[in-house]
Amino acid sequence: MKVLVTGAGGFVGGVVARMLRARGDEVRTVARGDYPDLTRLGCVHVRGDLAEPKVAQDAVAGTEAIIHVAAKAGVWGSAADYEASNVTATQNLLDAAVQHGLQRFVFTSSPSVTFDGGDAVHANESLPYPAKHLAHYPRTKAEAERRVLAANGKNGLRTCALRPHLVYGPGDPHLLPRLVKRAKAGKLAWIGAGNQVDVTYVDNAAHAHLLALDALAGAGASTPLGMNGAGKAYFISQGTPVHPDAWVGALLSAIGVPPVTRRVRLPVAYAAGAVMEAMWSLFGMKGEPMMTRFVAAQLGTSHHYDLTAARRDLGYQLLVNDEEAHRRTVAWLQEELSAGRL
């Protein structure tokens, strides 16, 4: 089939595109820049900004389904930039999908859309959106998710949203490289103690997108309940929560980086985040604050999720187990260190 993949030049989107091509699907990608690797993969690339309606229309025309991975991530930046990248672009794609009669739309969301600053222990999809978010990223992703799910049924369009938690693995541009660099510089500290979180190996996150795409069509032996995924959101992870300090510590130890022993209480880190946010906003400081309220709360609380719905409706299962994911990730980190990129 012909699938439009947004964000294919990024981490999860790139693996989604490769998996689709490997099984014989035609893939079209869209982004503001060029990605020669995608062209070599056999993807057809459309260049442009999805916040512009015409770009979305041109990208969608002639395709049969959309996997919308692209987003502005991070925890700091202007509200307007987050709105344009995460809300406007998504709405433009939805409008184009409805207009062109597409039947399937898979949206990459985030568990942070439900994060209220407290613990979420073995939570399921009944978890509500909070009254207030701590950062523009989860707020705009929540709004985009609402719109995607509300579009289910319009002109035959079937939609669903996936919420993979803390995606990691080879090619990770954010999570692990940042942690390794800070640990090497002696600037990493654990926040809180005893909390547990879900993580998701990148191949498993990408695999979930293909399963959702097929489930929306009611096709495939791995999707016994057919179209039950339509109009729903699903948490995705490895299925076994980890203690962040032990999990990251094992990776650091495997690549020869000294252990992190410094620990900060959550209230202290949260207060520091509030002060830094105020300073950055007041004085227009460049870059991202070393700490924000959102980051402190994310690192210092437990948030792990029940995968029953994803397993039941999408046929979700791990392609790569924890041990193999650890081995592959360590090998990649060692290569990055040897090349001087970490």
The C-alpha atoms of residue 68 and residue 90 are separated, in whole angstroms, by 8
Neighbouring CB atoms inside 10 A of 186's CB total 10
- Catalytic member of 35, 82, 129, 137: 137
Find where tokens 């397993």 sit: 311
C-beta pairs of 259-262 under 8 Å, 24+ apart in sequence: 260/183, 260/188, 260/189, 260/190, 262/188, 262/189, 262/190
Non-local (6+) Cβ contacts of 151 within 8 A are: 94, 97, 98, 105, 157, 159
**Are the C-beta atoms of residues 28 and 124 closer than 8 Å to each other?**
no
**β pairing state of 65-68 and 26-31:** unpaired
255 phi, psi to nearest 5 deg:
-105, 10
Residue 137 annotated as catalytic: yes
Q: Which residues are the active-site residues?
A: 137
